Amino acid sequence: MARLSINGQTYDVDADPNTPLLWVIREQVGLTGTKYGCGVAQCGACTVHIDGAAVRSCVMPVSAVAGKRITTIEGLAAGGKLHKVQQAWIEHDVPQCGYCQSGMIMAVTALLAEKPKPTDADINAAITNICRCGTFQQVREAIHTAAKA
C-alpha cells in the first residue's frame, strides 16, 4: 500500500513497491494522459513532475515517491486556466499525433520553472524527449514563446 499525492489529491494504492509509477498513475488512478513509450527511460513519453522536477515515471518505483508531490499533465492547468506552455503549444500548433506531447510538455514546464529564459543549448540539454512525428522545431519555438509569456 502506498499513499500518493497526485495533482493535489491523495490516493491510497495497493501496488507492489517495485511497480513503476507510470502503471499506478494509468491503471490504478486512471490518469491516462501520461503515456507509455519505451519503458526504459529513453523516450520521455511518461514524464511527470516529482516535487517539481521532471521524472520518467516508467522507471520510478512507486515506493520511491510516497509522500512526494506528483503532478501529471492533468494537473498542469490551474484554476481553469491552461499553463503558459500549453497555451504556447496551441499557438504554435505543436502536436501531430500527440503521443509524445504530454511528456514533452511536462519536461518543458519543469525546465522553465528552473530556467525561465532557456537558451537553445539549455533546451537541447534538458529536452531529450523523442517525438516520432518530428515536432522538435515547433517545440523549440513554443518554448521560446512560453518563456516570454
DSSP per-residue string spanning 13-56: E---TTSBHHHIIIIIS--TTS--S-SSSSS-TTEEEETTEEEE
Q: Min. distance of Cβ 106 from ligand FES in angstroms?
A: 11
Nearest-approach distance from CB 89 to ligand FES, in angstroms: 11
Which residue, 1 or 40, has its beta carbon nearer to ligand FES?
A: 40
Burial 15-49 (b: 16+ CB within 10 A, else e): beeebbbbbbbbebbebebbbbbeeeeebbbbbbb
Nearest to ligand FES of 7, 102 (CB atom): 102
Q: Least distance in Å: CB of 97 to ligand FES?
A: 3
Length, in residues, of the chain: 149
Taking the complex as a whole, the smallest distance from the CB of residue 60 to ligand FES amounts, in Å, to: 9
**CB 71 → ligand FES: shortest distance, Å?**
16
CA–CA dist 128, 12 (Å, integer): 32
Instruction: Specify the residue, 98 or 116, whose C-beta has the smaller distance to ligand FES.
Output: 98
Which C-beta is closer to ligand FES: that of 40 or that of 78? 40
Contact 25, 1 (CB under 8 A): no
Q: For residues 46 and 55, is the Cβ–Cβ distance under 8 A?
A: no
Please name the residue that has the C-alpha cell 504530454. 102
Cβ closer to ligand FES: 20 or 118?
A: 20
Interface contacts to ligand FES, rule CB under 6 A: 36-39, 41-46, 56, 58, 95-101, 131-133, 135
